[in-house]
Amino acid sequence: MDWTALRLSLQLGSFTVLLLLPVGIWAGRRLAYRDFRGKGVVEALVALPLVLPPTVFGYYLLVGFGAASPIGQVWHSLFGRPLVFTFEGLLVASVIFNLPFAIQPMQRGFEAIPREVREAAACCGMSPWQALRRIELPLAWPGILTAMVLGFAHTLGEFGIVLMVGGSIPGETRTIAIAIYDRVQAFDDLAAAQMSALLLAISLVTIALTYGLSRRVGRRLG
């Protein structure tokens, strides 16, 4: 069992979800409430990571983040470290490829709030910020929770993009999914089986948690 890889994966998943939460709420809410020119294009772009082969996506990120790229150079001048083959680079890639998993359920969550209910919040004197906190977030909660759980579980299991952007540097970019592959390559079947079972268990727990919680929330709102 590669505990370092597990810890790294849990860290990556947690940070990804933390970063996705405000991004997803902002983007999901905007897509749910507003009609604007090019909305269809934006929605298609958000969904792109769902269909793009991970290695292709990883390749473009590698090129885009590389030391020769403008983004890579700006990053290097700011933090004195490269973006690719580091934990930070992996985190940025992880946030990007998780966008559809975060934004889509949140968008559905906000869409489920009747327009009149949002308007009633304004008519009650709530500022947009108060309305978000007291009315919209509690009502969109099932969607937000689903988004977070999906993003977390998906981050734990992502393989292709992680390998392309991060490589397999122990303690830096070797996640548990990479470690499983690594152990299989080394004929260490026991470690591979243990880690696979652990990932399976984590996946089952997160799915059970999401379904259970969203059903409870659904019952509460009747």
Q: How many CB atoms lie within 10 A of CB 95?
A: 19
Alpha carbon separation from 211 to 17, 39, 142, 166 (Å, rounded): 18, 30, 9, 32
Which window, 5-13, 26-34, 111-119, 197-205, contacts other proteins (CB under 8 A)?
111-119
Instruction: Provide, rounded to whole angstroms, the least separation between the CB of residue 217 and other proteins.
Output: 9
Judged by CB under 8 A, does residue 222 bind other proteins? Answer: yes
Task: Name residues contacting other proteins, limited to 116-155 (CB under 8 A).
Answer: 116-117, 119-128, 130-131, 134-135, 138-139
Helical residues (DSSP H) of the chain, grouped into ranges: 3-33, 39-51, 54-65, 70-79, 87-97, 99-111, 115-123, 128-131, 137-157, 160-166, 176-185, 189-221
Residue whose CB is less far from other proteins, 56 or 117? 117
Instruction: Provide, rounded to whole angstroms, the least separation between the CB of residue 104 and other proteins.
Output: 23
CA angle (21, 30, 60) in 5-degree steps: 65
Binding mask 25-54 for other proteins (x = CB under 8 A): ------------------------------
Q: Which residues bind other proteins (CB under 8 A)?
A: 114, 116-117, 119-128, 130-131, 134-135, 138-139, 220-222
